[in-house]
Amino acid sequence: NKRVKIKTILDQNPIGSELTIMGWVRTKRSNKNVTFIAMNDGSVITNYQVVADPNLISEDVLKKCSTGACLKITGTVVESQGSGQASELNAISIEVLGEADPEKYPLQPKKHSLEFLREIAHLRMRTNTFGAVFRVRHALAFAVHQYFNNKGFFYIHTPIITASDAEGAGETFKVTTLDIANPPRTEEGAVDFKQDFFEREANLTVSGQLEGELAAMALSEIYTFGPTFRAENSNTTRHLAEFWMIEPEMAFYDAEDNADLAEDFLKYLIQYALENCMEDLKFLESRLLDEEKSKPADQRSELGLIDKLKFVLENEFVRITYTEAIEILKRSKPNQKKKFQYLIEEWGADLQSEHERYLVEKHFKKPVILTDYPKEIKSFYMRQNEDGKTVAAMDILFPGIGEIVGGSQREERMDVLLKRMEEMNIPTEEMWWFLDTRRFGSTPHAGFGLGFERMVQFVTGMGNIRDVIAFPRTPGNAEF
Ligand code: 4AD
Ligand code: MG
């Protein structure tokens, strides 16, 4: 008998067929006459009920069918007597593929806290919550490629190892093969990177944007989707040291085209999840409701997860400039409880997450596209506006998340770009390859970066970014 996935059985309801399933035991209940085994193979959130008759299946085998064990079960699909499911499997034979000692297996059939599950990230995918999260994550990743493919964008694989620091924030992880305890030295005593593998200093990429720009200057519309690395303080619920970013880059787009694309893209991803992941979303919504019950009434969210997703789909994002946002923040009343101080004193200050949350969650109650930030708080490559003070930057802020997208129209004018790089102490000689795009056939272009995990967080409602990536990399955490 060929293996059939539980999802296939649920979809096709093949009453009367004899077939084989393989998967892991979630729970087992027995009485004198019968043993019920709830099986899960990850294809779907539902645990499939197997009915085992102790006259057919030996006591020794049934004993080994404990939570966590891996089984191969052949049986007949019959209509289910109990509620819930259309069918169940009457076992003809059970083979124990891998036992799981109940004394030692860390996952018991009860609720475990997310904190506890983070400690056993190698096993947590076997829970309903993480099964749902990773199926939704997969669906979103697939939808990313589908969206851009439909639009005729080309997927470019930009390098993971590079010598550039695209964001210029100096938060890179170094890549070296030198013996760090005893590196080769130049005559002056400095570390001699000429003897390193790449014959220079190198690091893990913080963004594929600069290479993406090179590609857009040839293929017009491209995107990257790869891991990026930042050695910043990532001890928050929104930061990882290793995260995945989607970065479209488009020749001939201006700032408005860029914002239109970003809004359309985010809505497409949400729509895709609603159309393809409803069972998992319903489960995630119910676990959020449980979580909310333990919160004080005024901190509970007004909408359930699915309604929240639909709300974002059905409403236009608010588009305002940084300057307008500052005016709103200045007018806002400081929070009575002093928990948040929304007031911002000065034009020019970077927005803190409480400012972003005020705009999105309290003031507009909608996703916000914030544009035209002061040039001092943004990267060198952003296009300068006529006012000489602001750049054509764009951040998209989401409720519960804050910044989910960062992007801009790029500075395509060689003289303006060179001047800005010099002002910001960016070595122009080292960036000759980047500047060549402005030297030869330059054109207006734009792009943005979507933090994939923040998007998965928004769609799944998971509060901590560590719970939407299989093996989170955060300070002090790189074991497996
Ligand atoms: O705003 P950022 O730094 O922009 C860039 O890297 C540009 N080069 C993108 C572009 O224009 N092509 O990062 C983009 C997004 C953020 O909005 C956020 O969603 C996510 O990446 N992000 C992180 N996600 C998780 N952990 C971190 N440490 C993140 N840093 C940024
Ligand atoms: Mg940003």
> Which atom belonging to ligand 1 lies closest to the Cα atom of 404?
19
Mutate which of 245, 351, 394, 469 for ligand 1? The one with the most ligand atoms within 8 Å of its CB, which is: 245
- Shared domain check, 438 and 356: yes
> Which contacts qualify for 175-178: CB closer than 8 Å, 24 or more apart?
175/202, 175/203, 175/204, 176/201, 176/202
The residue contributing the CA closest to ligand 1 atom 26 is 239
- Give the confidence band of 335 by pLDDT, cuts at 50, 70, 90: low
Q: Do 88 and 49 meet the contact criterion of CB atoms below 8 Å apart?
A: yes
Residue 103 structure tokens: 């004394």
Is the residue at 200 inside a domain?
no
Alpha carbon nearest to ligand 1 atom 27, residue:
239
39 CB within 6 A, ligand 1: no
Residue range 381-403: mean pLDDT, rounded: 97
What CATH number does residue 62 fall under? 2.40.50.140
User: Quick one: 376 and 459 in the same domain?
Assistant: yes
Say whether both 133 and 215 belong to one domain.
yes
For residue 448, report the distance from its CA to the centre of ligand 1, in Å.
9
Question: Is residue 191, in this structure, part of any structural domain at all?
Answer: no
Please indicate, yes or no, if residue 187 is contained in any of the structural domains.
no
Please determine, for residue 341, whether its predicted confidence score (pLDDT) is greater than 90.
no
- State the residue range of the domain holding 27: 6-109
Q: Evaluate if residue 336 carries a pLDDT over 60.
A: no
What's the mean pLDDT in 419-436? 94
Residue 82 shares a structural domain with residue 163: no
Among all ligands shown, which has an atom nearest to the Cα of 397?
1
* Residues 222, 359 within the same domain: yes
Q: Look at residue 187 and give its three-state secondary structure.
A: coil
What pLDDT shows up at residue 299? Answer: 77
Structure-token pair, residue 144: 């990313």
Sole residue written with tokens 């539902």: 46
Tell me, what's the pLDDT at 449? Answer: 98
Ligand 1 atom at minimal distance to the Cα of residue 212: 12
Band of residue 7 on the pLDDT scale cut at 50, 70, 90: very high
Domain count, the chain: 2
Tell me the best of 214, 454, 456, 477 to mutate to test the pocket of ligand 1, counting ligand atoms within 8 Å of each CB and taking the most. Answer: 454
Q: Is residue 460 part of a domain?
A: yes
**CB 405 near ligand 1, within 6 Å:** yes
417 occurs within a structural domain:
yes
Q: Which residues contact 262 (CB under 8 A, 6 or more apart)?
A: 369, 394, 396, 405, 407, 448, 450
Q: What is the mean pLDDT of residues 90-117?
A: 96
Would you say the CB of residue 247 lies under 6 angstroms from ligand 1? yes
Among the listed residues 141, 319, 154, 110, the one whose alpha carbon sits nearest the alpha carbon of residue 227: 141
In a domain, 427, yes or no: yes
Question: What's the confidence (pLDDT) of residue 345?
Answer: 64
Q: Does 156 share its domain with 286?
A: yes
The last residue of a domain, from among 57, 79, 109: 109
* Ligand closest to the CA atom of residue 402: 1
The complex's ipTM works out to: 0.99
- Verify that 82 and 156 share a domain, yes or no: no
Both 158 and 229 in one domain: the answer is yes
Q: Which ligand is nearest to the CA of 232?
A: 1
Which residue's CA is minimally distant from atom 28 of ligand 1?
239
Residue 412 falls inside a structural domain:
yes
Residue 479 lies in a domain: no
- Give the model confidence (pLDDT) of 261-307 as tens digits: 999 999 999 999 999 999 999 999 999 999 888 888 877 877 899 99
Q: Which pTM does this prediction carry?
A: 0.96
CA distance 470 to 118: 10
261/252 Cα distance (integer angstroms): 13
The CATH number covering residue 272 comes to 3.30.930.10
Q: How far apart are CA 265 and CA 267, in angstroms?
A: 5
Same-domain status, 263 and 396 = yes
